[in-house]
Amino acid sequence: MNKVSNKDSNSKKEELIKREDIKDSPFTVITTEEGSFGSMGKFRITELYKKPEEVKKELAKMTWNRIVQVMLLLMETGKDVELVKVEK
């Protein structure tokens, strides 16, 4: 688990974040005190669920919506890579 410090103006709050890679996929389940959600890289791709198992079940569904999400994220990531090459 990683600790992330979130600072309020009046107090210091720490939140535990758990990351679990899903085997044979590009997805990760992120779990916080608020719940769990699915991500791909730095992008959140599912709604917030109460349990990590619900997220895994949702990510296992290969719907057209999920396919389009992944394609758009790959295109966005490719743009980031091209920008880094141009800056060097």
Q: Where are the domains of the chain?
A: 2-87
pTM beyond cutoff 0.85: no
User: Which helix (H) or strand (E) is 71 found in, with range?
Assistant: helix 64-87
pLDDT at 80 over 80: no
Residue 15 pLDDT: 76
DSSP-based three-state secondary structure for 69: helix
User: Sheet of 35-40: strands edge to edge?
Assistant: 2-7, 12-21, 28-32, 35-40, 43-44
What's the pLDDT band for 88 if we cut at 50, 70, 90?
low
Residue 14 pLDDT: 75
C-alpha dihedral (38, 40, 41, 46), degrees to nearest 10 = -40
**Per-residue pLDDT tens digits for 34-70:** 999 999 988 999 999 999 999 999 999 989 999 999 9
